[in-house]
Amino acid sequence: MKIRVKFKKWGCMKFIGHLEMMRYFQKAVRRADIDIRYSEGYSAHQIMSFAAPLGVGITSDGEYFDIDVNTTESTEKSIAALNAQMVDGVEVTGYVLLPDDAKKAMSLVAAADYVLSFKEGYESPYTIEEWKEAIDKHFFDEPSFVVMKKTKKSEREVDIKPLVYKLTVMENNKKPEFFMQVSTGSIDNIKPEFVLQAIYEKCGLAYDPLAIQIHRQEVYARKDDGTLICLLDMGEEIS
């Protein structure tokens, strides 16, 4: 049976990297007595794969990993068993059964929602209304949004506008914050902080990455008709 698990990550756990989180959940699954399947061969390992690695320092309400199990308790009991093993800063919020022919979450990721806000002690260079006007002028009112994208081997101009599905400015404690839904995955992947930095540069502003807290809200797959679906909604709760 294939299971998809959803969890939150916040607080000091945002500084724990992807590989450490994988090892953390491998131990937590064993301690929670989840009947996980192991690979065959000399060096057997848990059949577990994560959807989309989260960068260090980023918090999230929408992290996912898939596991194969031999047997399983109900969704409610399994979530309780896993959360009994969690430390402060991690909470399991979903546990669903996937169809037998379901693909791994890692290969399905197509988009993600993010909120970018100013950390305590940092001030925004613009008011909320000024940000809205600047984004309209430099992003929405232009036919393209071309930036220089650097890779390990080269750099090239890329129009990232088609990769930003939603972009709005909101208010949080009288400060502006940015909501983005961006293309995510192995094919067309764009980081939200890269988008915000490019907007800063278009406005002639200096971008300070230390001033911005990034929070991932949700991760999506793309259905055959082109619409997005939450990864958890691709499975069913177990009664």
Backbone φ/ψ region at 220: left (φ over 0), alpha (ψ -120 to 50), beta: beta
**Single pTM value for the model:** 0.93
Q: What is the DSSP letter of 235?
A: S
Helices (H) and strands (E) in the chain, counts: 5, 12
* Residue 187, pLDDT score: 76
Q: Which of 192, 213, 197 is nearest to 138 (CA)?
A: 197
Residues 123-147 have pLDDT tens digits of 999 999 999 999 999 999 999 998 8
* Residue 156, pLDDT score: 83
Residues 159-194 have pLDDT tens digits of 999 999 999 999 988 899 999 999 998 778 899 999
